Amino acid sequence: MRRDRLRLGVSWVHWSLFDEQVLRVEDALGPGRPVVFRLPRSYHDAWIVRGGFKVRVWDWLTVYAGAGWDQSPVPPETLEASLYDGDKVGMSLGAVLVPWEHLRLTVGYNHFYYSTQEVARSRQQPSANGRYDGAVDILHTNVEFFF
């Protein structure tokens, strides 16, 4: 029996609640002498749009593909290399194989492309001024055994 599925998702995330990040290290300078780091974040709210389809070709094979866009909540002035984030576009392809009823194998590939960010007025210390861009490729596999 062939079963095709088409999915679309849209989300809004209330990131603006995340104004700063506070890290506290107790007794860092001796008993009762903590060190406190306050890192500005000033995130803004963001949208996420994702869609995809899945086609069951045969009882033992399903293929899927998808694409999406995530808006970054990080403003340029609080962007940093250790926690880099920019608007990103992602794509995925994969297959699910069921050679018998007790075993399912999944293999997939994801590619994420991050838009270029220019930072000229960094609020980070030390300054994070510069140009940021990136891409990520992920190959994943999964084996499930049912008993």
In this structure, of 6-15, 80-89, 95-104, the range with the lowest mean pLDDT score is: 80-89
In tens, the pLDDT along 40-75 reads 888 999 999 999 999 999 989 999 999 999 999 988
Identify the pLDDT of residue 2: 63
Q: Which residues contact 127 (CB under 8 A, 6 or more apart)?
A: none
Q: Which residues contact 119 (CB under 8 A, 6 or more apart)?
A: 76, 77, 79, 128, 129, 130, 131, 132
Computed over every residue of the chain, the mean pLDDT equals 91
Identify the pLDDT of residue 39: 83
Read off the pLDDT of each residue in 122-128 and give the average, rounded to a whole number: 82
Give the N- to C-terminal CA distance of the chain in Å, as an integer.
24
Q: Which of 106, 105, 108 is nearest to 137 (CA)?
A: 108
Identify the pLDDT of residue 55: 95
Asked whether the predicted pLDDT for residue 81 surpasses 80, the reply is: no
Structure tokens at 7: 């999915």
In tens, the pLDDT along 101-120 reads 899 999 999 999 999 988 88
In this structure, of 29-43, 50-64, 132-146, the range with the lowest mean pLDDT score is: 29-43
Identify the pLDDT of residue 107: 98
Asked whether the predicted pLDDT for residue 30 surpasses 90, the reply is: no
- Provide the b/e sequence for 85-119 (b: ≥16 CB within 10 Å): bbbbebebebebebeeeeebebebebebebeebeb
